[in-house]
Chain A
Amino acid sequence: MNKTKLFLMLPLIGMLSCGKAKTEDQGNETSSAATSVTIKGSDTVLPLAQKEAEDLMKGNKEISITVVGGGSGVGLTALIDGTTDIAMASRDMKTEEKLKFSEMNKEIEEVIIAYDALTVIVNPANKVSKLTREQLEKIFTGQITNWKEVGGEDGKIVAYSRESSSGTYEFFKDEVLDKKNYASNILSLPATGAIVQAVGQTKGAIGYIGLAYETKEVKQLAVSYDEGKTFIEPSVASAKDKTYPISRPLFYMFDKTNAAKVKTVVDFALSDEGQKIVSEIGYVPLK
């Protein structure tokens, strides 16, 4: 009867719906009048690209933009596979990736659309106001554990980091820790807001956040990349003139043969309007 048939169907339906969704989102190549552009990659750039896309689409009905996150690596892989028009990246291409593009005879154009800077923060009650890169490395890899070793009061250092899925985590690791791994007793929190909150209420705390997040509950540290000769205070100005060392460019990357299609998007990102959004989101504008 019907019942038995249905009973047989059910596991099938279940299996089908449990199938792994491994298919990548393909770039929408619709032949309608509107051009559709896919932007994929870094989660750091994501909020910026999202806001710019929204504003651009509001003013220009001819264009439809899809913005997808996933990380810089994901975006570049998609660009290699040709499944995205623009890759967002919060780092330069790795040699490996350059090799892949050259294998495929693709010429890639990199456009810097903004800068992102990290600030090292401590509790306002902390007397330490500057650290060298080497000291930061030792703190986050667990070799320095007391504030008195870096000129502060006697007290345990409590280091906060972002989760490993965050681009900021990788950036800090590459830039400040010289690619060494964080110590395993580092506390990791899921969001920048949580780090500000925790550092603000923990006396011996140290953490890092995007420059945009500066708040009164925490104290920002000046850092030195030349073993203590010059210490640079973090600020939008010092990030802009590139004297502040812990900053990185944010890129849009695209295939040169595809330049005409993505021109509107890239131009908008570089326009005054686009750069205003950069400041609103909390990154450092180009000019």
Chain B
Amino acid sequence: MKTNFKQIKEKIIETILMLSSAATSITVVLIVFFLFVEGAGVFNKKPIDDGFLLAVSAENTVHKLQPSQIKDIYDQKITNWKELGGKDQAIVLFRAGDITDYYTEEELGENFEFFPDKINELVAKTPGIIAFFSDKYKAKDFTGRELDIDKIKVSEFLTGEEWFPTAQPIAQMGVKPLIYGTLWVSFGAILLALPIGLAAAIYLSEIAKKRTRSILKPIIELLAGIPSVVYGFFGLVIIVPLIQSTFNLPVGETGLAGSVVLAIMALPTIITISEDAMRNTPRAMKEASLALGASQWQTIYKVVMPYSASGITAGAILGIGRAIGETMAVLMVTGNAAVIPTTLLEPVRTIPATIAAELGEAPNGGLHYEALFALGCILFIITFGINMLVEVVTNRKSHKKH
């Protein structure tokens, strides 16, 4: 009876354990699936608001416009159709809300019933017009010509250099500056954090006296417990002005500021994990090395480091992971200007910061919303790629050594 009960208990525990691991892996797969389904939606859409259209006069000879050209037209950087290969004629901008500049409310009718006709009339009599309005107000006998707008292409999305997801009438979805920004900041952070982290780990595990270690380690671990907003604020108030005065820059919110903050944030992870790995080096191995006449440095370099290589890599991966995915701290210190950076001393905008800053206002299921999910996919691919790379590198190393 008793053994039976015990068996059942063990079975139950076994099932719970199995379920939790199964649930975790299924959740991960589902999240990735969800991310990609939502993100792929962006390539099924036109960069114009749903149900809206851009129309020109029928006499206009321009048939096709690129999204960037439409933006320049509405920003009044292009003011003549001649610049787009059309006739020499000034461009007249029209948005549905501008109708009251042309017609009185009485002319539009009490319930705006003449609205479609008036737009039609306006487009017909203004040869240089480009009109942006809802297709609900397109008259049945509309005489103007609707401009073709292509769906967003993957290549345009990845190589576009302008990120104006809420621009009217045409959203500019170019993620190149965001990808570059993310990579610059993360690699900067790793370049700063890895050497310092490794040095600290070696010191703590091999050189420091027990007393020093017992003071230093809890302090370093405390760093991991500070919320990222606090790091961000610290960065904004201390690091940003410091960088600005050190490099004599017009603005201190730069990729470098982001890298420094992220490096500080990644340090405890890197130090703790690599230090644990180094301390796990068997005493026999170290003593054998010392007995053979190797100095302490030679032992660290030739025995401890290779032995703990996988632990150090794990620390580095987790550090990079934190750096690439970090939002709040970066959002506050990098300036978030969506331009392609050429040095670390320029403002950059990262992918996580973009998602965090914009998802709140993006309408559920809309173009902007799906574009942000597509950004999430890109971020996922980047982190996944880095993890794979590190895995491959460490595997090769450990084969050589053993």
Q: Residues of A with Cβ closer than 8 Å to B?
A: 2-3, 6-7, 10-11, 14-15, 18, 20, 22, 71, 74, 94-96, 98-99, 102-103, 141, 155-156, 158, 163-166, 179-181, 184-190, 194, 197-198, 201-205
Known pairs A95-B96, A165-B358; A198 contacts B112 (CB<8 A): no
Q: Chain B residues near A6 (CB, 8 Å)?
A: 15, 19
**Interface residue count on the B side (C-beta < 8 Å):** 61
Known pairs A15-B30, A188-B357; A158 contacts B250 (CB<8 A): yes
CB proximity of B272 to chain A, nearest CB, Å: 30
The reply on B131 being an interface residue by CB < 8 A is: no
The reply on B331 being an interface residue by CB < 8 A is: yes
Q: A95-B97, A96-B134, A190-B336 are in contact. List 7 more A-B contacts (CB 8 A).
A: A14-B26, A18-B34, A95-B96, A165-B361, A187-B335, A190-B332, A201-B241
Inter-chain contact total with CB atoms closer than 8 Å: 125
Q: How far is the CA of A103 from the CA of B109 in the complex (A)?
A: 12
B250, A155: Cβ atoms closer than 8 Å: yes
B336, A188: Cβ atoms closer than 8 Å: yes
A3, B15: Cβ atoms closer than 8 Å: yes
A-B contact pairs, 9 of them (CB 8 A): A3-B15, A10-B26, A14-B23, A95-B99, A102-B112, A184-B337, A197-B237, A198-B236, A201-B241
Q: How far is the CA of A201 from the CA of B252 in the complex (A)?
A: 9
A180, B241: Cβ atoms closer than 8 Å: no
The reply on B321 being an interface residue by CB < 8 A is: no
Known pairs A181-B164, A194-B236; A187 contacts B30 (CB<8 A): no
The reply on B92 being an interface residue by CB < 8 A is: no
CB proximity of B244 to chain A, nearest CB, Å: 7
The reply on B100 being an interface residue by CB < 8 A is: yes
- Among B68-76, B192-200, B276-284, B378-386, the one that faces the other chain is B68-76
B337, A180: Cβ atoms closer than 8 Å: no
Q: Chain B residues near A98 (CB, 8 Å)?
A: 112
B164, A184: Cβ atoms closer than 8 Å: yes
CB < 8 Å: which of A10, A95, A185 contacts B347? A185
The reply on B293 being an interface residue by CB < 8 A is: no
Smallest CB-CB separation from B72: which chain A residue? A181
Q: Chain A residues near B134 (CB, 8 Å)?
A: 96
Q: Chain B residues near A18 (CB, 8 Å)?
A: 30-31, 34
Q: Chain B residues near A74 (CB, 8 Å)?
A: 363
A10, B100: Cβ atoms closer than 8 Å: no
CB proximity of B97 to chain A, nearest CB, Å: 5
Q: Residues of B with Cβ closer than 8 Å to A?
A: 15, 18-19, 22-23, 26-27, 30-31, 34, 71, 74-76, 95-97, 99-100, 110-112, 115, 134, 136-137, 162-168, 177, 236-237, 240-241, 244, 250-253, 331-332, 335-339, 347, 349, 356-358, 360-365
Q: How far is the CA of A203 from the CA of B136 in the complex (A)?
A: 50
B357, A190: Cβ atoms closer than 8 Å: yes
A188, B23: Cβ atoms closer than 8 Å: no
The 8 closest A-B pairs by CB, nearest first: A165-B361, A187-B335, A156-B250, A102-B111, A163-B357, A158-B251, A188-B336, A180-B75
Q: How far is the CA of A19 from the CA of B210 in the complex (A)?
A: 53
Q: How far is the CA of A3 from the CA of B111 in the complex (A)?
A: 64
Smallest CB-CB separation from B166: which chain A residue? A164
B19, A165: Cβ atoms closer than 8 Å: no
Prevailing SS type, chain A contact patch: mixed
Q: How far is the CA of A155 from the CA of B244 in the complex (A)?
A: 14
A71, B361: Cβ atoms closer than 8 Å: yes
Known pairs A95-B100, A197-B237, A201-B240; A186 contacts B27 (CB<8 A): no
CB proximity of B159 to chain A, nearest CB, Å: 15
Q: How far is the CA of A194 from the CA of B328 in the complex (A)?
A: 12
B97, A96: Cβ atoms closer than 8 Å: yes
CB proximity of B358 to chain A, nearest CB, Å: 5
Q: Chain A residues near B162 (CB, 8 Å)?
A: 184
Q: Chain B residues near A166 (CB, 8 Å)?
A: 361
A185, B339: Cβ atoms closer than 8 Å: yes
CB proximity of A59 to chain B, nearest CB, Å: 32
CB < 8 Å: which of B26, B111, B136, B251 contacts A187? B251
Q: How far is the CA of A181 from the CA of B162 in the complex (A)?
A: 11
A202, B30: Cβ atoms closer than 8 Å: no
Q: How far is the CA of A22 from the CA of B357 in the complex (A)?
A: 21
Smallest CB-CB separation from A95: which chain B residue? B97
Q: How far is the CA of A95 from the CA of B97 in the complex (A)?
A: 5
B358, A163: Cβ atoms closer than 8 Å: yes
Q: How far is the CA of A226 from the CA of B111 in the complex (A)?
A: 35
Q: Chain B residues near A155 (CB, 8 Å)?
A: 250
B364, A7: Cβ atoms closer than 8 Å: no
Q: How far is the CA of A3 from the CA of B19 in the complex (A)?
A: 9
Q: Chain B residues near A163 (CB, 8 Å)?
A: 336, 357-358
B253, A10: Cβ atoms closer than 8 Å: no
Q: Chain A residues near B100 (CB, 8 Å)?
A: 95
